[in-house]
Every structure is written in structure tokens, then in C-alpha cells.
A = this chain, B = another copy of it.
């Protein structure tokens, strides 16, 4: 039951020979969510061995080219590969017009349906939910309407202890109730507490994606205690004026957000190509938040499944 993030692209607006523009795939229990779709996303998906046909939801943070220009090639390739399942695009409403322009201009349209799910950019909203996962938006502070996304596993049913089922001869009809949290009362009226009959709860894992934004402390309330936080770090603190001017963050600011949010691990990326060496970003961030890592294209970050203590 994996929960893992693959970084497809980690540059800021100007890609380098080693960093493609922004895109990531989050795998949550056999679901593959594509987050942003910079130029070359489809090639990176192939390069890093991810299944293009199993992506059914794409989340676009904002409509700057370095987060979007890979969509057209990706949709074309899905079509060429014979896709017929719906594809849901979660994005700012104005993307719909551009996609329509494209599908009508280049070729004879797509054989699958694109379901547009526009979201508001000024307030948080629940934009995806199934029996295992929910996704909410995080309004950010950038030059155009921009949101981040937080992905959280739902609580799982409790695992019942097999030794107790056998020992107490718990009938099948009671097992469902126990899994949902009930105590068990035996035929002779004895009460067994739920916590003595079940394994400790499996923790819900979570991932927050924050790109692009100026320093924006308000978001920390919406991403409390995430296991994994990706926060853009376009600049170093020495260029923080430029960061504010362009609606971006410094490595130190990303670390402050991670710290205030009580995140477990911080990933930084979206580095400006003006800096030749990313080690300075990590060094700067670790002054505030030690568990910081600079991402590279192709990196995979797992969140292990654990139980409450």
C-alpha cells in the first residue's frame, strides 16, 4: 500500500539540461495522481517507468507555461495509445478554453473525454474524494491565481487481532462492528474493550504540494503535520526581495513554513537557473528545518505505512 512521490521535473521557469519544468506523480494506494505538467512530462513519465494509462486525475496549480506546456503532448499521446477512459483535469477554469483550442486545432479531437473540474483559487476546497484519499486546495500568493494541493489518506478500518477472534470465538457479525470501533460483549455479558481486540490504527499519510508562492504563513494551518511537504524555493535568502517581487519563496522561507506546519520532511525544488549549485539551498533551509532535501528529477520519496503507538 504505497504512498510515494516521483519528481518528474524540478526546474523553475527556465529548464536546464538536467532539470525539466515542474511535474510530479503521487502514488497513493495504486492511484497515480499527476501534479502539474511542465514541458516533457510525458517523456519523464516513460523515463521513470510510470504507467501513463493509469493517470486519471491531473492537478494543475496555476497557468504559467512551465507548469502546463506538457499537457498538449501528454493528451495527444494518451489518445494515440487508445485511451478511452475519462481524464479529469482539476485546474483554474480558464484552462478549458485553451485545451479546447488545442484539441480542435491539432488533429480531429480526442477519443476520450476530458472532465474539467475548475476550482476556486481564493479559498480552500475539497476537489477530490474517493474511499481512500481526499485532495484539498491551498490558496497561494503568486502573480496569477495559484493553489497548492494537500493529499491525505482517509482513516482505514481497524485491523482485528486474529488471536482474539479465536480465543473469544467472536462471531462474524460482530467483527464488522469491532473494525468500526465498537467494543465486544460476549454471550456471558463480559465487555472487551475495542483497543484490546484490534491492532493500533494505521496512520493516515499525507503530502502537501506548494508551488509557486511568495512566503505565505497562513497556509501552515491547512497543511498541519503532513508527512511530506514540497515547497518551492526559487531563490536564496540573499535574493529575498526578488522572491517577493516575483511571487516566489526562498529556501529559508520554505523551511519556516515546514517548521510552523510541523511537517515531517521538507522537499525543496523549483530552483532558479541563476544558481549553479543547489547545496546552498539545503544549507540555508536546514538552519531552520533539518529534515530538508533538494529534489532532483527522478527522485522517489516514500512514506512508509506505520501504526499509531
Contact = CB atoms under 8 A, between A and B. Distances in A.
A43 B40 contact: yes
Contacts of A101: 98, 101
Contacts of A21: 73
Given A42-B39, A65-B106, A98-B101, A17 B70 contact: no
B13 A42 contact: no
Contacts of A47: 17
Name the prevailing secondary structure of the A interface residues: loop
Contacts of A173: none
Bin the interface of chain A by size: 20 to 34
**Number of chain copies forming the complex:** 2
A15 B52 CA distance: 13
Nearest to A21: B73
In the complex, the 8 A-B pairs of residues with the closest C-beta atoms, listed nearest first: A39-B73, A17-B46, A17-B47, A40-B40, A65-B106, A69-B73, A65-B76, A69-B72
23 contacts: A13-B76, A13-B80, A15-B42, A15-B43, A15-B77, A16-B46, A17-B43, A17-B46, A17-B47, A21-B73, A39-B69, A40-B40, A63-B105, A63-B106, A64-B106, A65-B107, A66-B76, A68-B106, A69-B69, A69-B72, A69-B73, A98-B101, A101-B101
